[in-house]
């Protein structure tokens, strides 16, 4: 498998694992040293650093998911990601950078779906033990006005 193919597989896996509620497996797609942040496009365009979610290491990602599982209350829903073909920005010192658009639909317990969020991923990828892994994942949401709440990762 070429690095490009491995990265394409990684992104496909990324969306499916969230959609299947396998969030612990989703975390395994991140490199040992990693970060995950969700920011809104309106802040980015104004040069403002405010975040919606921020995990600067893997422990914080694990905390996000265990808090979601164990103490937070949220709207029951399932997710469906549609992730576009990544745009490759090349590789530097073992670090690949890609951008990809996403649409995220949510479906409630009565089977009613809504468009929850659109935006793009801007991420760097490293290879660890031969596997493509996410190093710094930034989710830039166009949908700055979050419908209801944001409990599950994008």
Partner 1 sequence: MTLQIAWPTSDYSRIPFHLYHDEAIYALEMERVFRGPVWNYLALEAELPNPGDFRTTWVGDMSVVVSRDQDGGLHGFVNRCAHRGAQIVRKTHGNATDHVCIYHRWCYSATGELIGIPFRRGLKGQGGMPDFDMAANGPRKLIVESYRGVIFGTFSDRTEPLATYLGNFGCGMIERFMHKPIRILGYQRQMVGGNWKLYNENLRDTYHASLLHEFFVTFGVDRATQRGGVKMDERHRHNMNYAYAATDTQDEARAAYQGTAGVTLDKLTLRDPTLLRYDREFDDGMNLAAPCFFPNGLLIQINNTLATRQLRPKGVDSFEIFQTVFGYQDDDQAMIDHRLLQSNLIGPAGYVSMEDGEAIEIVQRATRPETNGTSVVEMGGRGAIGDLEHRVTDVPIRGFWSYWAELMGVEPPGGVR
Contacts to partner 1 by CB under 8 A: 38, 40, 42-43, 46, 48-57, 59-60, 62-64, 66-67, 70-75, 144-151
Q: Minimum CB separation from partner 1 for residue 72, in Å? A: 6
Nearer to partner 1, 107 or 127 (CB): 107
Q: For the CB of residue 130, give the shortest distance to partner 1 in the complex, in Å.
A: 27
Q: How far is the C-alpha of 29 from the C-alpha of 17, rounded, in Å?
A: 10
State the maximum Cα–Cα separation within the chain, in Å, rounded to a whole number. 49
* Cα separation, 86 vs 98, whole angstroms: 6
Of 96 and 102, the one with the shorter C-beta distance to partner 1 is 102
Q: In the complex, what is the shortest distance from the CB of residue 107 to partner 1, in angstroms, rounded to a whole number? A: 16
- Give min distance, CB of 10 to partner 1, in A: 24
φ, ψ (nearest 5 deg) of residue 118: -125, 155
What is the rounded distance in angstroms from the CA atom of residue 150 to the CA atom of residue 154?
9
């Amino acid at each position: 498998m070429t690095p490009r193919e491995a990265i394409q597989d990684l992104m496909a896996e990324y969306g499916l694992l969230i959609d299947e509620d396998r969030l612990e497996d989703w975390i395994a797609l991140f490199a040992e040293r990693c970060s995950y942040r969700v920011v809104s496009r309106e802040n980015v365009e104004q040069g403002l650093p405010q975040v919606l979610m921020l995990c600067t290491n893997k422990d914080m990602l694990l905390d996000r998911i265990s808090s979601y599982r164990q103490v937070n209350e949220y709207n029951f829903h399932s997710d469906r990601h549609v992730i576009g073909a990544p745009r490759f920005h090349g590789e530097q010192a073992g670090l690949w950078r890609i951008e990809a658009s996403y649409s995220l639909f949510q479906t409630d317990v009565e089977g009613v779906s809504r468009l929850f969020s659109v935006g793009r991923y801007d991420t760097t990828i490293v290879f660890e033990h031969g596997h493509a892994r996410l190093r710094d994942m930034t989710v830039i949401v166009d949908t700055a006005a979050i419908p209801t709440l944001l409990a599950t990762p994008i």
